[in-house]
Amino acid sequence: MGRAKRLKDYKSMDKLIIRGGGRIDGDIRISGSKNSGLPILAATILANGPMNICNLPHLNDITTMLALLRCMGVGVTINEKMCVEVDPCSLTEYEAPYELVKTMRASILVLGPTLAKYGQADVSFPGGCAIGSRPVDIHLRGLEAMGAEIEVDAGYIRARAPGGLKGAHFVMDKVTVGGTENLLMAAALAKGKTILDNAAREPEIVDLANCLVAMGAKISGIGTTTLEIEGVEELHGCTYTVMPDRIETGTYLVAAAATGGAVKLRDTRADILTAVLQKLEEAGASIETGEGYISLDMHGRRPKAVDLITAPYPAFPTDMQAQFTAMNAVAEGTSAVTETIFENRLIQIHELNRMGADIKLEGNTALIKGVERLKGAPVMATDLRASASLVIAAMVADGETLVDRIYHIDRGYECIEEKLQQLGVDIRRVPG
């Protein structure tokens, strides 16, 4: 067994041990957005020269995407400014192999740009969190509308467009972030105009579109449900800084609210978190925002229960549902949390109930009766955001909680134990 594999296996068995009972207090810096950095890294394939991508978080998913680009022959280096320099001109392979794609769903994002620039792409069906069905049929039908020939063979998507992609008017059956990103990137080099209707509006898509514009793309309607892309012959390299991670921001705000604490988060933005901040104010938080920061203070009070329903942006994000469920578990009153995006994303309630929560699942709605305290217990993470909810629950639990399978949390939170330690949380990482 090679050293790299041994290190990977060792890390995957790590656990977090958290002793609850204290309040969060302090300030930390928010990392760059994983959900923005991944499509932007995929977009570098479109450039005809080197790209410098700054403010990328140090996360397993980012590392996997960089490994995938290297596997395709792309040059990847870290420059003196701690930006990742990507040189796509050396790309020689048009395949995204199963060994890498199986660990991260966002690998599918290399399909659109590789096909658009090189006329061919072979991408394994993606993996990732076990939070229900996330089909890629909209990605494929959109590319077919742009003239691609697509065959599904032995677990691979084999796409061909020898004469290049052509602009098309495509209406997405449902709002899909990944589908919007893939088709947006493909359309940037397609011949003629592409119109994407019912497009997702998430801030991460706006960030990707802004990066493409900085590369020379012609895109209008950015931030709306209708994107118009006038294809260009080539895109050039540029330097681009990834936006702050709104889900990491929201997670630390909820952690502070659940513990009755206070926190100041730097290098983040309030304008991309309106629905989350509104719900936190309903829970009793005092929130102050300014240029590059968000502060929250519960003044030692227990949060109030808040109802919420997940929906596409700008409504309440599915990626924050699990964290609010954990906060509601110790809030004053009762609440209903309804998940409309992914069918299995309330799975964490079984682990929360093991810690003394009073949550009943009725279809896609969790009915929560708040209790004053939870109790420490061994729990197991099932996906990325469920992991975060268990860490929050552990902070408001009496005694010690052991969170297993934290490789999930390492996919989306940079240095989570170090940041929580800065906020006064008794947390440590231990090998399995």
Please identify every residue annotated as catalytic.
Answer: 129
For residue 266, what are the contacts with CB-CB under 8 A and spacing of at least 6?
Answer: 27, 28, 29, 30, 292, 293
Nearest to 231 by CA among 137, 161, 150, 152: 161
For residue 420, what are the contacts with CB-CB under 8 A and spacing of at least 6?
Answer: 24, 255, 391, 395, 427
For residue 188, what are the contacts with CB-CB under 8 A and spacing of at least 6?
Answer: 46, 116, 212, 215, 217, 219, 229, 231, 232, 235
- Which residue type occupies 7? L
∠ Cα 336 17 4 (to 5°): 110
Q: Given the structure tokens 């009972």, which residue do they identify?
A: 21
3-state per-residue secondary structure call for 176-192: CHHHHHHHHHHHHCCEC
- Which residues is 71 bridged to in the sheet? none
**DSSP letter string over 30-41?**
PPBPHHHHHHHH
Alpha helices in 283-376 (DSSP H): 321-329, 349-354
